[in-house]
Amino acid sequence: MATDVSAPKLGGKGEPKRRLWYAQLWIQVLVGMIAGILLGIFDPSIGARMEPLGDAFIKAIRMLIGPIIFCTLVHGIARMVNVARVGRVALKAIVYFEVLTTIALIVSLAAVNLWQPGRGMNVNIHDLDTSAVQTYITHAGSTGVTQFLMNVIPRTFVGAFTEGNVLQVLLISVLCAFGLVAAGERGKPVVDFIEAANKMLFAIVDIVMWTAPVGAFGAIAFAVAKFGAGSLVSLGKLLGGFYVTCLIFIFAVLWPVAAWCGFSLPKLIRYIREELLIVLATTSSETVLPQLMEKLEKLGCEETVVGLVIPTGYSFNLDGTCLYLSTASVFLAQATNTHLTILQQLGLLAVLLLSSKGAAGVTGAAFVVLAATIASTGIIPVASIALILGIHRLMSEGLTPTNVIGNAVATIVVAKWERSLDEERLHAALDARVETVMPVAHA
């Protein structure tokens, strides 16, 4: 793996020599975010023009995601002695994902019913301007379970990488890995080449990550300039309640899970603080997928487990997205005076368990899936989603960090469950006794 760009160098006596505080990437990202907020507040016209900076950073990272998943997973599986472990790891991950996303939906349904952010708004659907959401309503019918499963199979081999669908890349990677295993010694040169390519790709990620402060500056300046004060005031109760719900899920659900597995969640959050700041600014969890995979390997998780759990988790373990979908759905019902019985809310929960899996590989993912979910229930007016279009990006600043933390915890849990976790290395890294470690040996 490539060396972490923010990792300190070793001193003359072998002790870690920390970088100056202002040279650490997370500090620079934080400064970029603060500068973006100030620009968006004091000069919104210029702030709105900073959007290309954030978009360019996101595009630069996204172009690397497919090749990195492919190289990491193919190399990991091809080097395994027991290939049957791949299915076992995937099954354990799916079971964990389903349990946690169900809990996320239950937590958010309970919170939004107690908080009732839409109560008293008395919105008349006929008074809403729905022109801005017609595109989302049109696409609402294309995110069903059958379509989702069909989308896992790419049209062409190369198409898996060009379309940006993580599950398609995952499928191609597993098939290629099994092909190399079947090829035996004749496939070894290809495996060695993929290993070298993987190191090259992570070196490129390190280079691109140096532009993260600029990307964060542009993304947050645009968000504040375009969606700032007005949206926050008009729908502040919904935003505040949603952020609190995300924190409740992180510290009341994920923290006990982490403690049960023997590691500290606050220390893990500190360890991935750079990634969390980046997704907070860009509202895209994809921007940190390569870095997150690298850091989890450095924590002591086996390469194959990381290569399977993280990409799969980006489709099946979107805890923050589940919190968003259920909160937004019930809020829209409250705002439009649409009464939902307990049975109807349980039915909504069942639909969300399926529809949330369709958030992967869809443009405007969470918002499109929200429209699809509401349309499928036939109870809440679909046009009501116009109410939250203006603050969708602001809500994304809560759901994306939750997704990243949830997938980081999931990877460690599955690695320990599979006995593919170097716990000594995990605790050493989280306690900051070591800054850069090599990936674990493959079983």
pLDDT in tens, 382-400: 778 777 876 777 788 888 8
Residue 205: what pLDDT?
84
Q: Where are the domains of the chain?
A: 9-430
H/E stretch holding 9 reads: strand 9-10
322-343 pLDDT, tens digit each: 899 899 999 988 888 888 888 8
Q: Which of 149-153, 223-227, 283-287, 335-339 is modeled with the greatest confidence?
A: 335-339
Round to whole Å and give the CA distance between 432 and 342. 47
Residue identified by tokens 């049209």 is: 155
Q: Among 329, 358, 351, 51, which residue's Cα sits nearest to residue 214? A: 51
Residue 116: what pLDDT?
87
Round to whole Å and give the CA distance between 58 and 282. 8
The average pLDDT across 247-267 equals 95
Q: What is the CATH number of domain 9-430?
A: 1.10.3860.10
Lookup: tokens for 97: 């994902």
H/E stretch holding 400 reads: helix 392-417
81-129 pLDDT, tens digit each: 566 777 788 889 889 998 999 999 999 999 999 988 888 777 776 655 5
266-319 pLDDT, tens digit each: 999 999 998 998 888 887 787 888 889 889 999 999 988 898 888 888 878 888
Specify the pTM.
Answer: 0.75
Q: Work out the burial of residue 163: count CB atoms within 10 Å of its CB; fewer than 13 is exposed, 13-18 middle, 19 or more buried.
A: middle
The average pLDDT across 234-247 equals 85
